[in-house]
Structures are given as structure tokens and as C-alpha cells.
Amino acid sequence: MEITLNIALFLHRVFGYRGVILFPWLARVFDRCDGRSNTLPPLIRSTKPSQSNIHEIRAKSVTYYQVLIDTRDMPHIRAQTEAVTFLGNQERDRNLYAIPGLDYVAHEDVIPYTSTERTPIEHELFDKFLLHDSEATPNFVPREYLKSWQERHHHWLELSDVAKDVTHQIRVTVIPFYMGSRSAQGVSVHWWRYSIRIENLNPDEPVTLRERHWRIFSLSGTLETVRGKGVVGHEPRLSKEYPAFQYSSHISLSAPSGHMWGTFKMEKDDGTFIEVRIPPFNLECKSEPTDNKTSI
């Protein structure tokens, strides 16, 4: 497999953190707000997703980057910094691995910048991945370890589909990842993680996320409804000072595929509520590699 590397320093347009780009992914983006008014009814009305109640959306290809986040900036980011998780080898290892400060950033959110520091980004993987080179621009080049690491973990890192939608000037972006499966007493359970960014496109009108409402449809024919307060223990306020919030969560199904969709209940400062769509996205199983090594 040919490895393409895009080593560069950047600032995140939305979250403001410093980072370094490692390599790109080409993702299919399904943007359901394109050409559609916010006054249209919710995307899904029935209890099960079907072709009749989902607008046909054409995917466009967008470049996303795998990046390292500067650990000095992590305490100030309104986003979970453990954005990448995966399962260990099924036969020998039942742990869940998390890599702190490894994120996915769309090309439109990248602001290039330069630094004269020998190690411009503080991250435990920086020196493992990159080597200082005063003649290079920027002043570091990839080590062979980065290439081998990308090859080894490609299956779990690969970003394929992104779903977006806008309701009442609140944009929700979802990126799902297949994590692998576990077998117990002959029954396989498949796991996915999904990263969600919620962004207020009109920050002059702040909103606070009060509730989440999920529908989870499994290929086995089951439909689960989940309601809860806030997300990951927070009720984030999206304002001019902090217009966006990002988090990750996990889901398991006994079937190899399914769908998720839902809504967020947001409260305005005047006490009124709005319902914001979470765009439907697929949970698809990928064949697992035979040599699933987990070493960082």
C-alpha cells in the first residue's frame, strides 16, 4: 500500500489548537443541508429508515487529515481529545485502546502556520513519528516508524463517510468508524465509534444542548430508542465565544450493520426550545485484518 504523507503545521479554524498534519484521507461527505431549506420537515418521520423518507443526497469527496494535537492546547479545547479508539486483537486481547490527541480535520478547517521551535508540537508521538531536519520546510520529516504505523493501523484509522445537516443554523457533523468485533459463546458483537461536532452558525443567538434523542436500527430488525440529558455528561452552550463542541461515543450491535439518526433538543436564552437534526449515518462492518497488532 502506497503511503501519502502531508507533514505540515496548522491551526484549527474552529477550535484554535496547534497541530501537525500527518497524512490525508479522502472522505465521502453527505451534506443534507445542500439545496434544502431549514423550514423543511425532519429528515426521518417514520420509525424505520427507508428510501421514501430520506432525500437523495449526492456525496462529494473532501480531504480530511490525520493530525496530532499539541498537548499544551488540550485543556482549552471544547472537544474530546481521545478521538481515536480501537479494539485489540480478538483472540488475545480484549482491551479498548485510545490514542490521546489524534484527530481528524477537514481541509477547510486548516490554517497553515510556521514555527522556529525544534519541536513545535508537544505530543508523546511527535518524536516517534517525526525527525528534525533544518533543511526541510517545515523543519521536520517523517520517520519510517510513521509509515509503518500508518500501514499497521490503516484499517482502524480510515475515514470513509461523513454526514452533515443544518437545522436552525446549527450544523451537526457525524463521522462513524468501525472498531471491530468480539465473540462470546458463538455470538459476535460489532462495535463502532462516532465523532460528532455541533456548531452554531449564528453565534449571536446562543443555544444550550439539553437533551439527545437517538434511534438505532439494526440489520437484525430491532429498533432502539435512547433519550438522555446532554451529551457525554455535558450540556454545552454554543455561543460567540465557544461556537462549537465535539465529542465521541461508541455503539455496539449484534448485526454487522445498521443505521443511527436522531435529534438534539436545544434551549435558547429566551427559554424557547428548538429541535436539531442528527443526520442519518450507516454503521457498516469491515472485514477485519488477520494481523491486528495494537502497539503504538
Look at residue 49 and tell me if it is in a domain.
no
**In terms of domains, do 110 and 201 share one?**
no
Range of the domain at 83: 1-37+57-159
**In terms of domains, do 140 and 198 share one?**
no
Look at residue 182 and tell me if it is in a domain.
yes
**In terms of domains, do 203 and 259 share one?**
yes
| Tens digits of pLDDT across the chain (296 residues) | 455 677 899 999 999 999 999 999 999 999 988 655 443 334 333 344 444 444 567 789 999 999 999 999 998 888 876 666 767 554 555 566 778 888 999 999 999 998 888 888 999 999 999 998 888 888 888 999 999 988 888 888 888 799 999 999 999 999 999 988 888 777 888 999 999 999 999 999 999 999 999 999 999 899 999 999 999 999 999 999 999 999 999 999 999 999 999 999 999 999 999 999 999 999 998 776 655 444 55
Distance between CA atoms of residues 27 and 117, nearest Å: 32
**In terms of domains, do 168 and 153 share one?**
no
**In terms of domains, do 31 and 152 share one?**
yes
**In terms of domains, do 3 and 130 share one?**
yes
Whether residue 195 contacts residue 174, with contact meaning beta carbons closer than 8 Å, is answered with yes
User: What does each C-alpha distance from 214 to 52, 64, 85, 159 come to in angstroms?
Assistant: 20, 26, 22, 23
Q: Strand pairing partners for 173?
A: 164, 197
Closest CA to 288 of 190, 219, 213: 190
Distance between CA atoms of residues 226 and 212, nearest Å: 8
Look at residue 45 and tell me if it is in a domain.
no
Q: How many domains does the chain have?
A: 2
**In terms of domains, do 204 and 222 share one?**
yes
Q: What are phi and psi of 151, to 5 degrees?
A: -65, -45
- Looking up residue 260, the CATH number of its domain turns out to be 2.60.40.1470
Look at residue 103 and tell me if it is in a domain.
yes
Q: What is the pTM of this model?
A: 0.86
Look at residue 240 and tell me if it is in a domain.
yes
**In terms of domains, do 109 and 10 share one?**
yes
Look at residue 47 and tell me if it is in a domain.
no
Q: End of a domain among 111, 130, 159?
A: 159
Angle formed at CA 256 by CA 195 and CA 233, multiple of 5 degrees:
30
Maximum separation of any 2 CA atoms in the chain, in Å: 60
**In terms of domains, do 76 and 142 share one?**
yes
Look at residue 46 and tell me if it is in a domain.
no
Look at residue 30 and tell me if it is in a domain.
yes
Closest CA to 261 of 216, 209, 292: 216
Question: Which residues, other chains included, contact 273 with Cβ-Cβ below 8 Å and sequence gap of 6+?
Answer: 210, 265, 266, 267
User: What does each C-alpha distance from 228 to 53, 211, 245 come to in angstroms?
Assistant: 25, 6, 17
Q: End of a domain among 119, 140, 159?
A: 159
Question: Which residues, other chains included, contact 87 with Cβ-Cβ below 8 Å and sequence gap of 6+?
Answer: 93, 94, 95, 96, 97, 179, 180, 181, 182, 191, 292
User: What does each C-alpha distance from 250 to 20, 87, 129, 156, 209 come to in angstroms?
Assistant: 26, 12, 28, 14, 20
Q: End of a domain among 159, 183, 200?
A: 159
**In terms of domains, do 180 and 214 share one?**
yes
**In terms of domains, do 234 and 284 share one?**
yes
Q: Which stretches of 15-160 are DSSP H helices?
A: 126-129, 144-157
**In terms of domains, do 279 and 174 share one?**
yes
